[in-house]
Homo-oligomer: A and B are copies of this chain.
Amino acid sequence: MARFKVTYRVTASDAAEARQRAEGIALEQTVEIPRDIVPTGFIEDEILGLVESIDTEDGNHFNAVISYSPETAGPDLIQLLNVIFGNSSIQHGIRVVGFDPGTEIRNRYPGARFGVAGLRKLTGRKQGGLIAPVIKPMGSTSDELAEIAYRCALAGADLVKDDHGLANQSSAPFQSRVVKVAAAVARANSETGGNCLYFPNLAGAPHQIMEQAMFAKHAGAHGLLVMPGLFGFGSIFELANEPELGLPIMAHPSFLGSYVLSADTGFSHAVMFGVLQRLAGTDISVFPNLGGRFGFTREECISIAAACTDPDGIGIPMLPSPGGGMSPERAAEMQAMYGQDVVYLLGGSLLRYGDRIGEGIKLMRAQLD
């Protein structure tokens, strides 16, 4: 079986230490026993991770490529992630910066079911960025949230999403919220002839998520917002690949920040918000935009967008969705940076318009066109 490869950026004082650390990762992520007692034969030849190459990045950082047999991952995404970074996540100075799935893992993980092309078809937005206002704040009633969604859809939003903090609070419980907001968006669509989509934020206990997702579909939702940092990437994969559900998935970065913020541990921004998302089947990947209240750099944001749309990535290209500090005033700058295939999240800046929220949507659309 074609092995998959992970590139680890390893902190080490010299090439000899980098080699030693890479051999350590190859053991840690598979057999987890000392090298000298690894059984010969199948375990040594197939199961043990293999250091394929080590390149110097700078004096203290080395890029080590380690290959693994798909047999180590078994049939489940959770175990694949466990092999990629399970225990090595706990060691200082190891960061995952690249993933080459190889043919076997590509066959197992089809990637996004909708992606860029599918979302353009669903929204009817043939070109240009998609506008995605966020309904909030937490504590609002379902009726209040539905009214905001209605105004946004009427004004030409492509996609209305719940704030990721809207869960199952008594002010707007998941099921009643989804019913009311979906109906409001449908009413606006019937008035405009448009195809604004509604993505509720999946909420509930783990055993309820498929039931909640099916409820949302039958209530008229067009997709789902899901937080892999809290529900797990395995849940994204299940939702994306359940044939009876058939809804596009938008992933939210909540609880995932700690994986990218430290330069010497975790995952690179591109792997976390691009590569892993495509592996799991995400169609739209939300990430914090530069210049807002999150500290991502321009380079990091561009690397995420590139990983989302890379034609050589897993499955079909999907949509990057920068949010945080986004406003109509920044539309031109954002378009120059991200290009056409992007979903612009508009949150707090839009709510500032109050009842005239539609004006903000129209202004954003005009700026993008």
Q: Which residues of A contact B (CB under 8 A)?
A: 24, 28-34, 37-39, 42-43, 46-47, 71-79, 81-83, 85-92, 136-140, 163-165, 167-171, 173, 203-207, 209-210, 227, 229-235, 237-238, 253-262, 265-267, 288, 293-295, 347-348, 351-352, 354
Contacts and interface: CB of A to CB of B under 8 A. Distances in A.
Nearest to A354: B37
Given A72-B169, A170-B74, A265-B258, A351 B229 contact: no
Nearest to A163: B32
A265 to B, nearest CB: 5
Given A165-B30, A207-B210, A71 B170 contact: yes
Given A86-B165, A232-B231, A39 B91 contact: no
A36 to B, nearest CB: 9
A73 B76 CA distance: 30
Nearest to A256: B89
A161 to B, nearest CB: 12
A254 B87 contact: yes
Contacts of A87: 164, 253-254, 257
Contacts of A167: 73-74, 76, 78-79, 82
Contact of A169 (B34, B71, B88, B354): B71
A82 B230 contact: yes
B238 A74 contact: no
Contact of A203 (B79, B295, B352): B79
B140 A230 contact: no
B34 A164 contact: no
Contacts of A354: 37
A311 B256 CA distance: 31
A25 to B, nearest CB: 11
Contacts of A230: 78, 81-82, 86, 232-234
Shortest Cβ-Cβ A-B pairs, 7 listed? A90-B257, A89-B257, A47-B139, A31-B137, A262-B262, A86-B254, A43-B139
Nearest to A83: B165
A24 B293 contact: yes
A42 B139 contact: yes
A295 B93 CA distance: 10
Contacts of A85: 255
Given A139-B46, A265-B262, A203 B76 contact: yes
B137 A261 contact: no
B261 A259 contact: no
Contacts of A171: 42, 47, 71
20 contacts: A29-B165, A31-B137, A32-B137, A47-B139, A71-B169, A72-B169, A76-B168, A78-B205, A89-B254, A89-B255, A90-B257, A90-B260, A91-B295, A205-B238, A206-B206, A206-B209, A206-B231, A206-B238, A231-B234, A262-B265
B168 A32 contact: no
Contacts of A352: 34, 37
Nearest to A92: B295
A214 to B, nearest CB: 12
A123 B88 CA distance: 31
B256 A90 contact: yes
